[in-house]
Amino acid sequence: MNLSIEIRALRDEVKALSERIEGVSAPKLMNTAQCAAFLGKSPDILYEWRRDRKGPPYLHLSSRSILYDRDSVIEWAQSHEVK
């Protein structure tokens, strides 16, 4: 995929997330499924990001309990905005 196309797609995703943030209230702490829905991604993507040490920060309470702080997810998404 062409780099400019990837950048444009990422910019569109960040814009959509910003709009979703204003229109949807998410719980302060989200599980993987909730965070994936909040970001408009599949839970599998979040699993891959954790494995590859990418993606938003998360709390690893146990092997079966991963939580994402809403504010940290928003901050992470905004830090990836391309201007």
CATH node for 3-79: 1.10.10
Domain range list for the chain:
3-79
User: What would the pLDDT profile of 13-47 be if each residue is shown by its tens digit?
Assistant: 877 776 666 555 678 899 999 999 999 999 999 99
Amino acid identity at 62: S
Asked if residue 43 lies in contact with residue 33, where contact means CB atoms within 8 angstroms, the answer is yes
User: What would the pLDDT profile of 52-76 be if each residue is shown by its tens digit?
Assistant: 999 999 999 988 899 999 999 999 9
16 alpha carbon, distance to own chain's centre: 12
pLDDT of residue 24: 58
One-character DSSP codes across 15-72: HHHHHHHHH----SEE-HHHHHHHHT--HHHHHHHHHTT-SS--EEEETTEEEEEHHH
pLDDT of residue 49: 95
CA 68, 46, 53, 9 torsion-angle sign: negative
pLDDT of residue 20: 64
